[in-house]
Copies of this chain bind each other. A is one copy, B any other.
């Protein structure tokens, strides 16, 4: 289904080459300043065509708020938002309308629904993530009110991995590939451009973190914070793995190496990535999302068409050589949506909360 979240809930619509994409954000507390310039600034970060590292599709992605605010503030009613599609080139897709692009959703949509909007991937296109960014921006605004800040950047491109001790989130904001480690940025950029030159694509990893998170977010046992973050990140187009804190590495070491000891000042290490027992522990939340290389490449590939005939697939059009880059902003948005939801859900975990609000 097309809703995300339980109390802070986003429902989205729209296809790559339809009239518009949009969303309804429900559960926003009343009285929040809805800073539309901030929302637009987040979209601008995700907007395609800013550099040659990205698809050539150029769209202003102008967000319009249709409801839910009054005199600049949220009213407690749902905020409807819309982005009109302006730069679709549907004819680019005529050649692929009957075939299944390898490692794309064409095949599964066709079989599941028996019908397929082949223009630009339709609903399965990453185009939809633009509206997640808009919704996530509102979540960020809400979280900022209680001191939570979310940031992200590229930690790895191809096999070029940054060194976490050098990660600089301010730097990433100025980097055209959102690089966290300035020392490997140019190598990472080269890896992308090399792939592009070869009519190919390449994978990458986004590191997302939240600071200022209060202790207590996450609703065990089946709405744990880490489980919801994993769901949120794995649901982004092209994501294939998610790690919390030490992630995969923790499986290789011993308890005495992985445990975070505690002293009066707090946790000595943060191998947990800010989550214990599915609940935030007050430390920085750290999540890594692994993106596969863009499946749309410009090399010949074997495939079949919808009648089962073997065909050669040779794509045209405009595609990001590395989806992880623009995926950074989407990862931040999804983390914001999860934390906003958990912030609301946690209210009422103690009987004192009720008394403080109803008395």
Contact = CB atoms under 8 A, between A and B. Distances in A.
Contacts of A96: none
B258 A248 contact: no
A55 to B, nearest CB: 14
A199 B291 CA distance: 38
B205 A254 contact: no
Question: For the complex, would chain A's binding face be called helix, strand, loop or mixed by DSSP majority?
Answer: mixed
Given A66-B14, A195-B254, A263-B304, A279 B112 contact: yes
A176 interface: no
Given A115-B73, A234-B242, A272 B67 contact: no
Given A67-B19, A203-B253, A262-B302, A29 B240 contact: no
B351 A357 contact: no
A120 interface: no
A155 B304 CA distance: 34
Interface residues of A, number: 162
B108 A351 contact: no
A324 interface: yes
A2 B18 contact: no
Interface stretch (A46-54, A98-106, A167-175): A98-106
Contacts of A108: 215-216, 218, 276-281
Contacts of A112: 30, 76, 215-216, 218, 279, 346, 349-350
Contacts of A20: 66-67, 80
A332 to B, nearest CB: 17
Interface string A278-317: 1111100000001111111101011110001110000000
Nearest to A73: B115
Given A2-B24, A108-B216, A123-B220, A15 B67 contact: yes
A241 interface: yes
Interface string A222-247: 11101111111111000111111111
Contacts of A12: 24, 78, 221
A113 to B, nearest CB: 4
Given A78-B12, A251-B203, A277 B235 contact: no
A211 interface: no
Contacts of A273: 240
B293 A102 contact: no
Given A128-B221, A302-B261, A30 B114 contact: yes
Nearest to A64: B19
Interface stretch (A3-11, A35-43, A179-187): A3-11
Given A202-B255, A226-B234, A276-B108, A293 B21 contact: no
Contacts of A107: 215, 262, 276, 281
